[in-house]
Amino acid sequence: MSTRAATNTLRALGMLIAITTISMAPIGSTMGAPAAREGVAAGSSALPSASVGIRSRIPREVSCMRAYVKNPSHHFTNYAPAIGAPEVTDAIHSGLQPCATFTGSVTTANQVAQFNSSQMYPGGIQIVTFGGPGSAFLLGGAPGVPEASYTNGPYVARFNPSTGQQIWRTPLPILSGQWLLPGSMAVVKDGSVNVAIGPRVYKLDPSTGDITAWVEQAMLDGEQKSANLDGFAIAPDRRGTILLKSQNRSTGCTIQGSNAMSGCLADYGPQPDTTVVAVDPVTLETIAALELDQPVTARPIVTAHGKRSHIYLAGATHGVRVIWDPSARTLTQDPTWAPGYLLSGQGAGDAPVMIGQWVIFNSNAITSDSTHICATVVRKSDAQDIHRICPWGVALPAGMSSESPTSFSTDPENNMFFMQDLLVGGVFGVHLNRKTGSMDVRWSRPDWRTSDYLVSMGSAEDRVVSSQYIDPASFSIAALYANSWTESLLWVKQDTGATVAQSAWHSATNLGWMYLPGYAGRMYAMNANNTLSIYLPLRCGHSTSQVVSPPSITLCDTDYSTLPQPIENPPLPPQP
């Protein structure tokens, strides 16, 4: 997740939090009768397996990605041309994956096949990424919430994308007493697996897992062992410079996990200011380093600006822009671009996102007990051109708290972005006017509670959005403490928010970690029990009587009018 803020949620839950009763929107009409489609063929003897996926889709997915990355406006420059999660693919972490296949139907009924791996990854799985349809990698062993039974440290593993079985596993050497929390990783254009954790950057051979290089980056404030390089961004310059920033715990603190960022303040003083580094993509040596004017928890996003790159961050007090000049080999904080994106009472935001010339900030990655999450958009060329929308309103009711452990997600092709709040609940689909910066809410789902990114996939005309859906009946303070809630994977029509497919209820995935698309129509989850799950939506055929096991929430005979319905163009509470 963008801030690794899962334990901020747990801190907030120590308070008396009133969870509102979710009211359902009016029931809509029944969807049309299903017809025979690819996925569940009429008269077929067996349903496609979630583990295998629909392999006939892979050639198109591969060719689509190869074409997609060639357009610099898609922000995949210098990354491997591979489908993946928002935090490990494009440089603006959009959440848009148009080459990923939704193997269900947007007009008829669907069911969802599911496969659970038997392979356990001790210390948990923090990130999954792909180098292509046969190349799947994960970062494990550095959980945001420490596991008392696991002390072996972080590692990278390659796994079989059909079964989750480990192919190789490589431990990462770390400093004695190193602060451990989730790092970041990406597969870059040469196919190597690059990882940042603690103050070190590593490069691994994708075939063998051998560490071919690693370099410790010097922090400009705070202790080396109390820093964690976060947000593996790659500049769109000729060399593919790696751009990273640090998270820091207070000097002298020994608390492990994400909670150290807030839990050390009372006893050890403020966090050190964040260090930003530019790293040579071949040698991993530091090219340039910059100390910011404040600590920044969330990850950066990067975009080209002429021959330079602009790095955008959500600071503790204001938005931050850093300029990377590859010719001069310098990093500079831009004093002319420092917008105040927070309302009174809001906590600092997750990583910003971007649509066109607008940087979109959220809030309350750090829990707020007084003010709802809002979206604040700022023009890149004018930090004074600011617009804001607050779909939940502004003032929180007494006793409630607001937090989202992950960033908003965007579909820049359709000028849409998606807002979520774990503690309050609800998801909003918001349209941005690129010319003026004005925004309007196209739909809301007050029933939808997620701690994760939302991922957009499919063609621009028939796009679906997918994310975690926490079972309202299982959501409680105690369940969040114990990872004992139940959830499913939900797909909705992006333009309306209406459900098109939903998996079976199952045990919790890691708080604040995304379901991510892979190849052959598969979706992956990182489970709280240290395993992987794979999902595959299946179109229903008119003569198909088979039911997936376990039965998904949507089946071929589901009356979709009985499901929770979106509210189209909902009226907004008073705005600031």
- In sequence order, the β-bridge partners of residue 378 are 359, 386
* pLDDT under 70: residue ranges of the chain: 1-45, 542-544
Structure tokens, 334: 């831009």
Per-residue pLDDT, 33: 31
CA-closest candidate to residue 117, choices 553, 503, 551, 527: 527
Domain ranges of the chain: 6-568
Are 492 and 564 contacting, i.e. CB atoms less than 8 angstroms apart? no
Provide the pairing of β-strand 275-279 with 286-291. antiparallel
The most distant pair of C-alpha atoms in the chain lies apart, rounded to whole Å, by 68
The label of the residue with tokens 């349903």 reads 47
Can you tell me the distance from the alpha carbon of 187 to that of 171, in angstroms, rounded to the nearest whole number?
A: 18
Are 103 and 54 contacting, i.e. CB atoms less than 8 angstroms apart? yes
Per-residue pLDDT, 28: 29
Are 2 and 93 contacting, i.e. CB atoms less than 8 angstroms apart? yes
CA 502 to chain centre: 19
Q: How many CA atoms does the CB half-sphere of 549 hold within 13 Å?
A: 3
Per-residue pLDDT, 215: 98
406: helix, coil or strand? coil
Please state, in angstroms and as integers, the Cα–Cα distance from residue 479 to each residue in 10, 405, 471, 507, 527, following that order: 11, 16, 11, 11, 15
CA angle 497, 405, 498 (to 5 degrees): 5
Can you tell me the distance from the alpha carbon of 179 to that of 477, in angstroms, rounded to the nearest whole number?
A: 27
Global pTM value: 0.92
By the 10 Å C-beta count (0-12 exposed, 13-18 middle, 19+ buried), 351 is classed as buried
Per-residue pLDDT, 23: 31
The label of the residue with tokens 């990355």 reads 69
CATH class of 6-568: mainly beta
Per-residue pLDDT, 45: 57
> Which stretches within 239-328 are classed as H helix?
260-263, 265-268
Can you tell me the distance from the alpha carbon of 349 to that of 317, in angstroms, rounded to the nearest whole number?
A: 10
Can you tell me the distance from the alpha carbon of 121 to that of 141, in angstroms, rounded to the nearest whole number?
A: 8
Which residues touch 73 (CB under 8 Å, ≥6 apart)? none
Report DSSP state, residue 483: T
Are 220 and 289 contacting, i.e. CB atoms less than 8 angstroms apart? yes
Structure tokens, 447: 């029933």
- In sequence order, the β-bridge partners of residue 524 are 516, 534
> Which stretches within 177-258 are classed as H helix?
none
Per-residue pLDDT, 263: 87
Are 512 and 420 contacting, i.e. CB atoms less than 8 angstroms apart? no
470: helix, coil or strand? strand
